[in-house]
Amino acid sequence: MLGDNPVFVVEWHTRRILACNDAVTRVFGFNPEELLGHDTRCLHVSDTAFESFALESEALLQSEHNTYHCRYRMRRKDGSEFPSENLVQVIHDHEEGRVAVVSFVRDLSGCDSADLPGHGLGLDSAHALSMTIPGAVFRRIRDVHGNDRYTYLAGQLVDELGIDPDAAREDPSRVFNLMEPNDRQLLESAIQSTARSGSGIDLVVRFHSPSGKQYWLRIISRPTQLGDGTIVWDGLAIDITGEKQAQAHAAWLADHDRLTGLLNRAEFIAHIERALEAAHKHSQQIALARLAVRGMFKVNEKHGLPGGDALLCQIADRLDDTLPEGSIIARSHGDVFLVKLEIPDNDGGLAAGLRTLQSAFDAPFDLGDLNPAHVSASIGIARYPEDADTTDDLLRAVALAGDRAHKHPEVDYEFYDREISEAMRQRFQLEDRLRQAIAEEQLEPYYQPQISLSDGRLVGLEALVRWPQADGSLIMPGAFIPLAEEVGLSGRIGRLMLRRVAHDLHTWSANGWTTVPVAVNCSARQFRDTKLVRAYEQEVLEQGLDPGLIHLELTETSFIDNYDNAKRIMDQLNGLGVTFSIDDFGTGFSALSYLSRLPFRVLKIDRSFVAEILDEAHQRNVVQGLIQMASTIGLYIIAEGVETAEQEAELRCMGSDAAQGFYYSPALPAADIPHWHAALSKKLDGV
Ligand code: C2E
Ligand code: CA
Ligand code: CA
């Protein structure tokens, strides 16, 4: 059987072996991998024999024949020699004189000269040959009418690609449909141009098998024009997928860490260089973090190096999974990782990035032991441009910060700059505590009364969040609401407030107090969050409360850049019966006409105006104008921050409907509200 014999595909001008089959091992003692890419010198008995064979075959190739055979001695890997016969099929000969050949070798030791094949390969032997090489052999013809078909198509690959040779013969597109569209275009235009020029094709194209596997094929062919005008392309498609994958893998290894699959240090540095250039151009900030595993030594001691490696891989996976897009992660060396963090536009973003880094160590690691391993990391941070403005300096700064963090087991991270380290640490701690306080529902609403200016009665309450501390003190919202906004916690605070206010309303009415509407503050970020509607439904409506009892206070920032979306959310909530106040009015830029198109019911005049109405004639006019316009579009007006009887009198005069401020009461705990109200009524009614 021909298929049991060695077959080589050799690039002629270099004599490099492009492909060979497994039979080379039996006859020559070499594994195919040992031969691929090398020239055929090692298969000849001497260098002289190799060179004279080259000359001899060169002469043969100048002749008209596409096939020839010759006999000579060859050499095995172990140095022994044997007589052989070579059948050589020329595959391609393009203008530069390059030739690829398929060379079929037969070991003649112990063979009788009677069974030697003659000149040329018959179709049967061509078929057998084609089945031994990785790829396919084809003959494509274009008849005088310009119609193409295959008259011959066979090879391992034809089966692997699931091509039905009979169908494909008549319809070459069945083969071409499996090709990557770009490559297909290339090959089709090569066929067209070689048909005209008679030159050869030597192209690498990609195929996809029906199961989705990708193949790389090198297509080598040259057209011959027959007397009647028919054009024939005899050719070979050599499967070079393995070679391509090896190349791709080699390229991948050059810039990745073998163990974890993350980028390696060199590639990370190259990334940072590019990132700094871009950051410089767009005035952006970049932060580098250097993360070193604490307790690696113990893990190695207990679990051996394989355990240590497994740990590093798990850490790499977690970092890769948790860090946001745009971050770049590398393993620098040993147990040290480098991370480029995105800093959106404030330091809050950096704190979030740091949290994410640390959260990769929250859960224990599974090292195949009964007890999962708890490890943590020390983190050093350096920032561009504050700490350094070149890649080298930045790496040096982050290494210093990282070292310092690692030496102090009590700190999780260390900034290049000490002061910043301290500020960030406090901020980070506050964020941690706030998260916990939200989870444990420690935050609670205090209520500030709103008083009608016509009769002095209670018309509503504003819920203001307070964070009670273990020592009995309260943290005021100014100390944590801005942070909550930055780190995305305001939605959770808003929901908690809705829940607590709903609960207080229930308690009040269960205790026989006639409730008044309560305004709940809704931050800009919380408002943009579509979950707000759901939160309102769950925390208020599903608790059986009248939606008229809890309304939402929005500031201008909620809709300033965001009018359409704001209107959509407001309309949706309005449809559920929710009403809105516009808070801090006058501090932003919104025109009243703009507001009149949104479903606001109440306008709250900011306390900075109220503070000045008595002293500043100009402010007084502004407020007067505001009140007049707001009244014409039917808004109910509440003045904030009223501290004195004079301010109250002035505001009443100007047409404000209600007021709120320390003059009446600061915000009080829910339980105090009914008593406060009773005292007010008593004063008004004189009983
Ligand atoms: P705001 O919505 O303008 O709330 C009014 C603030 O003015 C409250 O401060 C209140 O205690 C204070 N205030 C009331 N009357 C007077 C007065 O006569 N004079 C002076 N100088 N101040 C007065 P607080 O409670 O510290 O809240 C500050 C801000 O925090 C609020 O301003 C609001 O923007 C925000 N905030 C409060 N609670 C929440 C909440 O539950 N969610 C959200 N997103 N923000 C809240
Ligand atoms: Ca408010
Ligand atoms: Ca306000």
pLDDT at 337: 96
Structure tokens at 542: 């599903």
Task: Kindly give the distance from the C-alpha atom of residue 137 to the centroid of ligand 1, in angstroms, as a whole number.
Answer: 82
Closest ligand 1 atom to Cα of 446: 25
188-228 residue pLDDT tens: 999 999 888 888 788 899 999 888 899 999 888 878 887 78
Task: Give the strand pairing for 458-468 and 413-415.
Answer: unpaired
Mutual angle of helices 645-654 and 617-632, in 10-degree steps: 50
Please count the other Cβ atoms lying within 10 Å of the Cβ belonging to residue 248.
11
Range scoring the smallest mean pLDDT among 64-78, 152-166, 448-462, 618-632: 64-78
> 8-12, 24-28, 637-641 — which is least confidently predicted?
8-12
Length of the chain: 687
In the three-class reduction of DSSP (H, G, I as helix; E, B as strand; rest coil), residue 114 is classed as helix
- Please state which of the ranges 13-22, 158-167, 464-473 shows the lowest mean pLDDT: 13-22
Give kind and range of the element (H or E) at residue 552. Answer: strand 550-554
Task: Indicate which residue's Cα is closest to atom 19 of ligand 1.
Answer: 641
Cβ of residue 492 lying under 6 Å from some atom of ligand 1: no
Q: What is the mean pLDDT of residues 120-136?
A: 59
Ligand 1 contacts CB of residue 583 (under 6 A): yes
Q: Which of 3, 30, 5, 29 is nearest to 108 (CA)?
A: 5
Nearest-angstrom CA–CA distance, 37 and 418? 58
Beta bridge mates, 235: 138, 221
Looking at residues 48-70, what average pLDDT do you find? 68
Please state the rounded mean pLDDT for residues 290-318.
91
Q: Give yes or no for residue 431 CB within 6 A of ligand 1.
A: no
DSSP string, 10-75: EETTTTEEEEE-THHHHHH---HHHHTTSBGGGGBSSHHHHHHHHHHHHHHHHSS-SEEEEEEEEE
Dihedral (C-alpha) 597, 603, 607, 611: value to the nearest 10 degrees?
100
Distance from the CA of 581 to the center of ligand 3, in angstroms? 10
For ligand 1, whether the C-beta of 638 sits within 6 Å is no
Instruction: Determine if ligand 1 sits within 6 Å of the CB of residue 481.
Output: yes
Task: Check pLDDT > 90 for residue 451.
Answer: yes
Q: Does the beta carbon of 89 sit less than 6 angstroms from any atom of ligand 1?
A: no
Ligand 2 centroid from CA 465, angstroms = 10
Q: Which of 61-65, 405-409, 592-596, 662-666 has the lowest mean pLDDT?
A: 61-65
CA–CA separation, 7 and 23 (whole Å): 8
CB 200 within 8 A of CB 93: yes
Task: Give the containing element (helix H, strand E) for 653.
Answer: helix 645-654
- DSSP secondary structure string for all residues of 265-314: HHHHHHHHHHHHHHHHHTT--EEEEEEEEETHHHHHHHHHHHHHHHHHHH
Q: Point out the least confidently predicted range of 228-232, 286-290, 490-494, 668-672.
A: 228-232
How far apart are the CA of 404 and the centre of ligand 3, in A?
A: 45
Q: Of the given ranges (105-119, 355-369, 454-468), which has the lowest mean pLDDT?
A: 105-119
Q: Are 307 and 375 in contact (CB under 8 A)?
A: no
Over residues 112-141, the mean pLDDT reads 58
Average pLDDT on 66-70 reads: 63
Cβ 607 under 6 angstroms from ligand 1: yes
E-strand stretches of 113-161: 135-142, 148-154
- 158 has a pLDDT exceeding 80: yes
Note whether 82 and 187 are within 8 A (CB).
no
Output 279 or 109, whichever has higher pLDDT.
279
Q: 482 and 465 in contact (C-beta within 8 Å)?
A: no
- Residue nearest to ligand 1 atom 21, measured at CA: 641
Query: Which single residue is written with the structure tokens 């790829």?
Result: 135
DSSP annotation of 373: B
Contact (CB, 8 A) for 21 and 133: yes
Kindly report the number of other CB atoms within 10 A of residue 2's CB atom: 20
What's the 606 CA to ligand 3 centre distance in angstroms? 6
- Centre of ligand 3 from the C-alpha of residue 448, in Å: 12
> Which of 137-151, 195-209, 438-452 is most confident?
438-452
Report the alpha-carbon distance of residue 538 to residue 534 in Å, rounded: 6
Mutation pick for ligand 1 pocket among 475, 497, 499, 521 (CB with most ligand atoms within 8 Å)? 521
For residue 565, name the pLDDT band (cuts at 50, 70, 90).
Answer: confident
Q: Give the pLDDT confidence score for residue 353 in this predicted structure.
A: 82
CB atoms within 5 A of ion ligand 2 belong to 521, 553, 583
Q: Average per-residue pLDDT in the chain? A: 86
Between helices 265-281 and 241-255, what is the axis angle to 10°?
70
Percent of all residues in the chain with a pLDDT value above 70, rounded to a whole number: 90
Overall average pLDDT of the 504-516 stretch: 93
DSSP 428-455: HHHHHHHHHHHHTT--EEEEEEEEETTT
Both tokens of 642, joined, read 């009223």
Q: With 70 as the cut, is the pLDDT of residue 125 above it?
A: no
pTM over 0.75: no
Region 496-506 average pLDDT: 96
Find out whether 397 and 416 touch, Cβ atoms under 8 Å: yes
Per-residue pLDDT averaged across 369-379, rounded?
86
The number of beta carbons lying within 10 Å of the beta carbon of residue 607 is 20
Model confidence band, residue 115 (pLDDT cutoffs 50, 70, 90): very low
Which of 58-72, 160-174, 519-533, 669-683 shows the lowest mean pLDDT across its residues? Answer: 58-72
